[in-house]
Each structure stands twice: as C-alpha cells, then as structure tokens.
Amino acid sequence: MTGPLSFPLKAAWRALPLIVAGFIPQFTSLLVIAVAVSSSPDGIPGLLGFAASLFSLSVIGTIGVSICTITALVRARTEHRGKPSPAILGSVIQRNLAYANTFSLLALVGSALALCLLVATNPEMQGVAVAYCVALLPGILCSPHSAVINGAYQYLDRNRENLSATASFGLIYCASGIFLLTANLPILLALTLFGLSQSCGTVAILALRVMRLRRHVGSPFLTARLRWDAQGIWDRLSASLDGAVFMIVFLVVQSAATTISPDTGDAIAVAIAFARLVAVPLKQVGITYGRLAVSTHRPLTPGRSLIELFLAASPYLSAALLGMLGYALWSGPIGGSLLLTLMIAAQIIIEPAAGVLFGYLKLAVSPRAGLLGLLLVYFVAVPALLFFLIQAGATAGIIWAGLLGARLLFAASNVVSLRTNNSPRHAPR
C-alpha cells in the first residue's frame, strides 16, 4: 500500500497483536468490576478496582525487565554471528531471572505499602481487603518472571505464545470472578477464592511456559540468585516508568475516592477501568510507529507525526468509544453520571497526544523526552489537586474532571517536547 495513509495504517496493523495482548486483561478487569457493581455490596467494586490497578502496576512496572531481556538476547545473537549456543541463551535468561527475583522483592514491599494505604483509607473493609490482596500476592510476585519469559519468547519470534498466555489468564480471571461474585457466597470467602484463582492461574501458566521454553532453549536457566547492581535495576525501571506512574496515580485516586463514600469509590473504579482499557494497550501504537519511523529513517516532522499518530490510533479509538457507548446502553452512564461518561470519552479522544505520543517520543527522540512533563503533572499537579478535592469531599465527576485536566496538560507537554526535538534518533539500545 502506498499513499499518505500507508505509514499510519501499517503502524496500526503492526501494533494489533500487542494491543490485543494489552487489551485482554484490562477488558476482563472492567467486566468483573461491572458485574460487581450489580451483584456485590457497596465498596467491593472499589476494592476490585484497587486490586486491578495493583496487579496492572506489577505487570506494567516490569515491562522494562522484558525489554532488557530481549536486548540482551539480541546482543548475544549479534556477538555470536547469529548462532548463540543454548548455554549462552540459558545464561542470558538466567541473568535476567536474577533481576526478576530482585523485582519480586521490590513488588512485595510495594504491595505491602499499597495495602497499608488501602487499609488506612478504608478501615471498615480491612478484613476483606487484606484477605483478597494476600491471596493475590503470589501472582503479583510472579510478574517479573513472566516478563522475562515474555521477552525470551519475543526473541524467539513466538508472540503467539505470549498472546495465548494472556488469553488463558484472562479467561481464568473472568470466569472465576463472575462465578464467585454471583454465587451468593460470603464476600470474604468469594474474594479470597478469587484472589487464589488468579494466583494459581498465574503460577501454573508461568510453570508451563518455563517448561516449554526450556525445550526451545535447550539449556537450564532457573536461578534463585538476586542482582542488585544499580545500573541494571535503573535500566529496567526507566523503560516502564511512565506506565508505572499512571498505575500509581490510579491506586492513590482509587484509595482517596473511597474515603469520600463507597459510591464515589465504586464510580471511580469503573472510570479507571475504562481509562486503563484504552491507555494501556493504545500506547503500543506509538511504540510501533516509533520503531517503524526509526528503522525506515523517516524524518521527524512534528505536525505530520502527530497527525499520523491520530490516524494510526483512530481505529482503536473508534472501537473504544463504541464499546463505551455499548456499556452505557447496557447499564446506564458510567458511575451513574452522564458528565463522568462524557469526560472519559474526551480523555479517550485526546489519548493519541498523551500516552501514544509519549511512547513514540521514547523511541524517535530520546528515552527522556516528555519525562519532565510527566513528572511535573503526575507528581506535582495531580497530588496537590487530589488533596484539595478530597478535603472538599468532591464527587466522582469532579475528581475525574481534575484527572482529565491533568491528562490535557500531559498531552500539551508531549506536543511541546515533540516540537522542540526536530531531529530523529536511532532506537535505544
């Protein structure tokens, strides 16, 4: 295909498998929260939303582990003239699994802090929250190891393995969640079993994938060692910093909203689920567009790049808006508020200039491009705004208006970063 639309359409098509893999867990999370809204006591959808953001943080926060695994394997292939031995591949995977062990300890500390935040802001749900999050913990601690295995399968050009693993976990999550939340069980028992089903599913899928990978690699690679070198840890953290920041913000917003009222917390849980459903997978459009632009030495023209990013993302934006309309027709406006629904739609529409453009900047300009705007908006402006809104007892609609304003500021900072960096660069190593 040739013509002005060929490049953005190519980027949209190339990003499709990655978008599907990112879409499945976010969609199943939204579906289970929607079921909880209609079948569970007040406050439970908010708890499920908090846990979903915590689990998403564990996955998104380890994307850098996967990226560094791929980079190390590609480097090994280059150094050995395209034919690294099984022992060399096994050694590379083993080294990255040692980093994964370190990240599991960091995830344990982070999960404990997040649970303390939830219990402090929702003391009336202390027992249920602790039981559910503790049951969920083994799955969270396995996320870094799953990231390494994902990277190894991508290196072997077996992306279908990664997609089938994501789909399998999504099926387990969705089926167990809907069954347990509608089975008239005591809510403590239902959520404990739900958390255990997620953890067991994660561990079982990881074990099966490790066994299959050993057959492909032909060399043992499991290890219990830890790696603590600061540069290696920073390399893995920085590659996923933006996604981790968004998930942390969602965790704090969810906890803060539930202090106002259970209804506010539940409405925010649904709104965040929709935001994750679009923002997390859609970022792959920007990353794919950036990779194609760098590999083809496409000139970085700010105006054209921004327009083409919107064009590449438009099929997925349209699908997201239609899906939101379908949800509203099925169960009414999100959170019972037409204003909240319209603001979420507005946030979806501006996402190409926000998360999508940010992903593009990291590859086409610099890993640090747009980072200052991200930190100023989400570590300075948003915390100050949230403190003011919570003190004022704001509604879900007003809280989301603040988040929409923050997203607009973030999008504007990305556009400024794009316009002030007019020379393309090679993809980061």
Q: What is the pLDDT of residues 170-229, one digit of tens each?
A: 999 999 999 999 998 999 999 999 999 999 999 999 999 999 998 888 777 788 899 998
pLDDT band at 3 (very low <50, low <70, confident <90, very high): low
pLDDT band at 277 (very low <50, low <70, confident <90, very high): confident
pLDDT single digits (tens) 404-423 = 999 999 999 999 999 887 55
Neighbouring C-beta atoms of residue 350, cutoff 10 Å: 18
Neighbouring C-beta atoms of residue 7, cutoff 10 Å: 20
**Shortest CA distance to 250 belongs to which of 411, 38, 26, 31?**
26
For residues 182 and 359, what is the distance between their CA atoms, to the nearest angstrom?
Answer: 39
**Shortest CA distance to 349 belongs to which of 271, 414, 250, 275?**
275
Name the pTM for this structure: 0.79
pLDDT single digits (tens) 151-160 = 898 888 787 8
The residue behind tokens 């040692």 is 98
Answer left, alpha or beta for residue 219, where phi above 0 means left and psi between -120 and 50 means alpha: beta
Q: Is residue 270 predicted with pLDDT exceeding 70?
A: yes
For residues 166 and 281, what is the distance between their CA atoms, to the nearest angstrom?
Answer: 13
Query: Comparing 209 with 124, which gets the higher pLDDT?
Result: 209
For 393-402, b/e burial (b = at least 16 CB within 10 A) is ebbbbebbbb
How many Å separate Cα 318 from the centre of its chain?
20
For residues 252 and 117, what is the distance between their CA atoms, to the nearest angstrom?
Answer: 8
How many Å separate Cα 246 from the centre of its chain?
8
pLDDT single digits (tens) 319-361 = 999 988 888 888 888 878 889 999 999 999 999 999 899 888 8
Domain residue ranges in the chain: 1-39+260-429, 62-239
Q: Is residue 428 predicted with pLDDT exceeding 50?
A: no
**If you average pLDDT over every residue of the chain, what do you get?**
87
The residue behind tokens 């999050």 is 133
Q: What would the two tokens of residue 174 be? A: 């969705």
Stretch 98-126: mean pLDDT: 89
**Shortest CA distance to 404 belongs to which of 275, 242, 315?**
275
Q: What would the two tokens of residue 230 be? A: 């600061």
Q: Are 53 and 37 in contact (CB under 8 A)?
A: no
The secondary element (H helix, E strand) that includes residue 294 is helix 262-295
For residues 423 and 207, what is the distance between their CA atoms, to the nearest angstrom?
Answer: 45
Q: Is residue 426 predicted with pLDDT exceeding 70?
A: no
Strand positions, DSSP E, 214-309: none
